[in-house]
Amino acid sequence: MEYSKEFKAALSNFSSIEKDRLIFRLLKKDKLLSKKLYFELIDQETTDDKRDAMEENIREKVLLSSKYIGNSKYFLSIIRKISAEITEHIKITTDKFGEVSLNILLINNILEYNEDLNRQRFDTIYKLYIYIINKIFKALVLIKKLDEDYWMEIDELLSELHQRINNNHYLLKLCNNNSLNLNWLKCENIPDNLDLMVKEIKSQGYLR
């Protein structure tokens, strides 16, 4: 939303007390903004600290939710909630590296339970796997926007992901069917135009 010069001038004319009241009213209505300002102004924890805590949170919650893999619809709902927590972390901290690493970590932790996942019927587990494949594509697109200094660490996560996908027959099949080339699970192999390729894949009715 664009703000006119007149509107900005009117806000500038508020007294300090009026501005304080307005700020606190806005913060009460926008919890995310409140958390973001707290992190930027007061919080003693760094972005790395927050990311480390989120990594532990992901591991714990996927472990607890793993007993519901047999109920794939409910399991996916839990995974979506964990993903929403990652998104909130990113919005609060603007953690660009974490936006990639945490989402790949989430997928790797899900696929840690391949033995249980491989026992599920294809039709019941399909939506979870399409969700995972979409997440992988998004992470690969974001990697191309990261500084190459991060690639070595990301490649470790991608190598683990590659191995886990190969150990999951249905997921591997869906990756192939939805044009996810596993050779891209190495930073230097990700196509520069992958974002456009993903749009084309979706336009053909895949990834859903």
Residues 159-168: pLDDT tens digits? 999 999 999 9
Residue whose token pair is 């927050």: 50
pLDDT of 128 strictly over 90:
yes
Confidence bin at 7 (pLDDT 50/70/90) = confident
| Lowest model confidence (mean pLDDT) among 27-41, 50-64, 183-197 | 27-41
Both tokens of 188, joined, read 């230097």
- Which of helix, strand or coil describes residue 167? coil
Confidence bin at 9 (pLDDT 50/70/90) = confident
C-alpha span between 163 and 79 (Å, rounded):
21
pLDDT of 116 strictly over 90:
yes
Both tokens of 2, joined, read 């664009």
Nearest to 103 by CA among 62, 139, 51: 139
Residue 95 zone, left/alpha/beta (φ > 0; ψ -120 to 50; rest) = beta
Confidence bin at 10 (pLDDT 50/70/90) = confident
pLDDT of 177 strictly over 90:
yes
Mean pLDDT over 162-181 rounds to: 98
Confidence bin at 47 (pLDDT 50/70/90) = very high
- Its pTM stands at 0.92
Cβ neighbors of 135 (< 8 A, separation 6 or more) are: 83, 103, 106, 107
Confidence bin at 180 (pLDDT 50/70/90) = very high
Q: Which amino acid is at 75?
A: F
Confidence bin at 1 (pLDDT 50/70/90) = low
Confidence bin at 66 (pLDDT 50/70/90) = very high
C-alpha span between 129 and 117 (Å, rounded):
10
Please give the DSSP secondary-structure letter assigned to residue 185: S
Nearest to 195 by CA among 131, 145, 133: 145
